[in-house]
Chains A and B, each alone.
Chain A
Amino acid sequence: MAHETDSFVYRLWRYDGAPGELIPLLQSAQEHFGYIPRRAIRYISEATHIPESAIYGVITFYSQFRLQPMGKHVVRICAGTACHVSGSKLLIESVQDELGIEVGETTADGLFTLFTVACLGCCSLAPVMMVGEETHGRLTPASVRRILRGYRRKSEAAGARPAAEATTGADR
């Protein structure tokens, strides 16, 4: 869980004009809200005196930043070289079918958001995907479906928790 000193509000409050803080501020905003809402851009602009337009320019340059809310579980399927030659395209299609969404979209129940990434550094277990901060390797279309259903069952059993505190990392 995020420490007090890592929180977005704390970082903004502590901001002392040191250069190079924009990206860490955006990262903590995304950590805090699950995405970067309009008002976070305004807060950051007020604190740093960087124009909102320039902040927006930085946000759209990096694939990590999202301007829309994300689902509780962020599914990142690797589309890197090793995974590509090991059939990641089929996995992406399987997940699209299973969840009924395209890459970049979030399911209507807010449970899953689907992205592709360009290598998770786990190539020897290709094809690979990450759900939250958990990595799953040696996938097949069938095992991908099983894993996603597992996450869905776990969420249903836990009841509807607010998305902000939803993390699944094994190594936190």
Chain B
Amino acid sequence: MKRLLVGMGTCGLSAGARGVHDRLGELLAGHPDRGELAITGCIGMCYCEPLVEVRENGRRVVYGEVTPARAEEIVSRHVVGGEILDDYVVYRLEEGRPASGREADFMAPQERIVLRNCGVIDPESIAEYEAAGGYEALRKALFEMTPAAIIEEMKASLLRGRGGAGFPTGLKWSFAAGQASDTKYVVCNADEGDPGAFMDRSVLEGDPHAVLEGMIVCARAIGGTHGYVYCRAEYPLALKRLEIALAAARERGYLGKNILGSDFSFDVKIKQGAGAFVCGEETALFASIEGERGMPRIRPPFPAEKGLWRKPTNNNNVETYANVPWILTRGAAAYRRFGTEKSPGTKVFALAGKVRRGGLAEVPMGMTIHDLVHLIGGGIKEGRAFKAVQMGGPSGGCIPSGISDTPVDFEHIPPTGAIMGSGGMVVLDDTSCMVEIARFFLEFTQNESCGKCTFCRIGTLRMLEALERITRGEGAPADIVKLEKLAVQIKEASLCGLGQTAPNPVQTTLRYYRQEYEAHIARRECPARYCEALVDFFIDAEKCTGCTLCAKNCPVQAITGEPKKLHVIDQSICVKCSRCIASCSFGAVYKN
């Protein structure tokens, strides 16, 4: 019996998976012999969505960039005719044969623990999760292990939190376990605020039960009574799949009173975020669940003592929890076989930006940046030059291509000035201006600062102003001095991680790309030809078709030209607003 699986994560859906799924439904309807249609989450190859997999007797053939028309071809030739359409195969897995397909080298270096079920099972079916070994860890935790033994196993695995700070998970659990209280909370941080990171979304959409099971095991270990998943509202599909998973888990007795007949009771609620980056910080997140403005609280007391509603609380990230069932069923020693001695296990990275293959990859800790970008990511789009990766989002920094042999783990990334963060990797090419990137992040943190600490609230604004002056070509050498001084002051005088890390993007770009700052200031020049104020706009005679759209959209009538003939920009009138670039369908307008 053949199964046809359509990747229906947000990435698949926005690439058109719905139309493909519907077309396949029509083609299979009334032909039960052809096979059954199912949905699955994201397998990680977001760059070749929509994906359709034809699975039969353990053989998995994944087709990429499937359109409704191509879906017809897959049904008529592969499903009915039994022929594999090699030209469209991106990944093929079969027992006794090496993996093949156009994109096989994207998957080859990966080790899938967190993503073990993503793109493999139907995330809306608890039966498929169980068939894949799901909820075995919970049974083990309930009937074969004491809470103390669970914590010992987690400690032995050396798993470190995947939400950013990398705190040892077993140790964190032991703090909450050591508190005497009849109410304890288990919180899952699914706020995923780092722009450029999307692994938590993908895990929740592709394997929500893995996260729930991790939370239930945690509750068993620390004596948790109530659970919360705090998920951002921008993820409607993740929220929906979580709801489905919760209802199914309750029905099967994995949640609620006397779980699986034991004396242990625990239930989980979903809280929707309301759009504030700082609510990813755990104490602000608690304030938000409590219905207040999401302002961070002073620590100590730490969450393990007084967290949500002043009760002992354990908070972990989505990916951290998704690791737990695997570790419990296979054992800490098996987990430590992956990765490095001090950073064992795997990490999911979200590759995005100018990399050719943007998607999710789970690799053993300690793989180098170079291998992630080139081996897995397939290098840079349009054959341009690799300039840097931005890691850790607004709290992180830019690591230049020159030191891309740096292993990615908790020991080697911090000395570069960046942070591990949640695993978002935005790849930059030679068209990115590093001063502009720093400005972009400062604008972000300035916007998202909750306003509690003066240095974070006003200091980031002063830094942003200096960066804006520099990108406009109005900067002075004193601006660099000011940026360096403010960076240190803001880090020291801020209460939470937001302010303490906000200057990182500026400090790392100043460290590795000081000459770009100086070119903007001393020569009024943007080496990457990005900053509008420092370049002129031109129309490429080869590409212009004379469609007149740019001239119509120019607010100052700087563009002239006859219909169907080359248009020209008058530099003395042009105000460099970029409207012409936006209006051109042929990519004919460029900056230099």
A125 and B15 in contact (CB under 8 A), knowing A23-B274, A24-B272?
A: yes
A27 to B13, CA, bound (A): 25
Q: Which of A76, A78, A121 is close to B192, meaning CB atoms less than 8 Å apart?
A: A121
Residue pair A135, B13 in contact (C-beta under 8 Å): yes
CB neighbours of A91 from chain B (8 A): 582
Contact A124 B240 (CB under 8 A): no
Contact status A21-B275, CB under 8 Å: no
Expressed in whole angstroms, the minimum distance between the Cβ of B58 and any Cβ of chain A is 29
Distance in angstroms between the alpha carbons of A76 and B13 in the assembled complex: 17
Chain B, interface SS category: mixed
- A63 part of interface (Cβ distance < 8 Å): yes
Tell me whether B282 is interfacial, beta carbon within 8 Å.
no
Q: Tell me if B224 counts as interface (CB < 8 A to partner A).
A: no
Q: Which of A64, A84, A94, A138 is close to B274, meaning CB atoms less than 8 Å apart?
A: A64
* Known contacts A19-B290, A94-B583, A119-B196, A89 near B578 by CB under 8 Å: yes
Cβ of A94 and Cβ of B582 under 8 Å apart? yes
Q: Are B277 and A118 in contact (CB under 8 A)?
A: yes
Are A124 and B47 interface neighbours, CB within 8 A? yes
A residues 110-129 with Cβ under 8 Å of B?
Answer: 117-126, 128
Do the beta carbons of B46 and A23 come within 8 Å of each other? no
Per-residue contact bits, chain B 11-29, to A (CB 8 Å; 1 contact, 0 not):
1011100100000000000
Of A58, A120, A123, A171, the residue contacting B234 (CB under 8 A) is: A120
Q: Are B11 and A137 in contact (CB under 8 A)?
A: yes
Across the two chains, which residue of chain B brings its CB closest to A65? B274
Q: How far is the CA of A20 from the CA of B228 in the complex (A)?
A: 12
Asked if B194 CB lies within 8 Å of chain A CBs, one says: yes
Q: When the two chains form their complex, are residues A171 and B15 in contact, meaning their CB atoms are under 8 A apart? A: no
In the complex, the answer to whether B194 meets A119 with C-beta atoms within 8 Å is yes
- The listed residue with most A CB atoms (<10 A of its CB), out of B10, B195, B424, is B195
Q: Which residue in B14, B198, B352, B428 is a CB contact (below 8 Å) of A136?
A: B14
Are A81 and B288 also in contact (CB < 8 A) when A64-B274, A124-B46 are?
no
Interchain nearest-CB distance for A108 vs B (Å): 20
Contacts of B444 in A (CB 8 A): 118
Residues of A within 8 A of B309 (CB): 19-20
**Which residues of the other chain, B, contact A27 by a CB distance below 8 angstroms?**
233, 272, 274
A94 to B51, CA, bound (A): 30
* Contacting residues, chain B, for A78 (C-beta < 8 A): 195
The CA-CA distance from A119 to B277 in the complex, in Å, is: 11
Contact of A82 among B196, B233, B448 (CB under 8 A): B196
Is A34 among interface residues, defined by CB-CB distance under 8 A? no
- Whether B15 and A81, one on each chain, are in contact in the complex, defined by CB atoms closer than 8 angstroms, is no
- Cross-interface CB contact of A85 among B14, B291, B353, B585, cutoff 8 Å: B353
How far is the CB of B537 from the nearest CB of chain A, in Å? 13
Task: Check B198 against A122 for contact (C-beta < 8 Å).
Answer: yes
Q: Once bound together, how far apart are the Cα atoms of A123 and B195, in whole Å?
A: 8
A23 contacts B440, C-beta separation under 8 Å: no
Does B49 reach chain A (CB closer than 8 Å)? yes
- A23 to B286 CA separation, bound complex (whole angstroms): 13
Contact with A along B408-444 (1 / 0, CB 8 A): 0000000000000000101010001000010011001
Q: Could you mark each residue 83-106 of chain A with 1 if its beta carbon is under 8 Å from any beta carbon of chain B, else 0?
A: 111100111011001000000000
The answer, yes or no, to whether B170 is at the interface (CB within 8 Å) is no
Whether, in the assembled complex, B293 has its beta carbon less than 8 Å from a beta carbon of chain A, the answer is: yes
A142: interface (CB < 8 Å): yes
Does A169 have its Cβ within 8 Å of any Cβ on chain B?
yes
B18 touches A137 (CB 8 A): no
Q: Select which of A64, A82, A135, A138 is within 8 A of B10 by beta carbon.
A: A135
In the assembled complex, how far is the CB of residue A122 from the closest CB belonging to chain B, in whole angstroms? 5
Chain A residues near B195 (CB-CB < 8 A): 78-83, 118-119, 123
Is the pair B196, A123 in contact by a Cβ cutoff of 8 Å?
A: yes
Residues of A within 8 A of B196 (CB): 80-82, 119, 123
CB of B504 closer than 8 Å to a CB of A: no
A85-B426, A122-B10, A124-B352 are contacts. A141–B290 as well, Cβ < 8 Å?
A: no
Query: Is the C-beta of B206 less than 8 angstroms from some C-beta in chain A?
Result: no
The answer to whether B585 and A58 touch across the interface, beta carbons within 8 angstroms, is no
Q: Which of A93, A125, A140 has the most CB of B within 10 A?
A: A125
Query: How long is the Cα–Cα vector from A90 to B578 in the complex, in angstroms?
Result: 7
B276 touches A62 (CB 8 A): yes
**Does B223 sit within 8 A of A, measured CB to CB?**
no
Residue A133 interfacial (CB < 8 Å)? yes
B260 at the interface (CB under 8 A from A): no
| C-alpha gap A21/B237 in the complex (Å) | 23
B276 to chain A, nearest CB (A): 5
Bitwise, B503-525 to A at CB < 8 A (1) or not (0) is 00000000000000000000000
A171 touches B240 (CB 8 A): yes
What are 13 A-B interface contacts by the 8 Å CB criterion?
A23-B274, A26-B274, A62-B276, A80-B196, A90-B578, A91-B582, A93-B582, A97-B553, A118-B277, A126-B353, A135-B10, A135-B14, A170-B13
Assuming A118-B277, A125-B46, A126-B352, what are 12 further A-B pairs, CB within 8 angstroms?
A23-B272, A57-B293, A82-B358, A86-B354, A93-B582, A94-B582, A119-B196, A119-B234, A122-B11, A125-B358, A137-B15, A170-B18
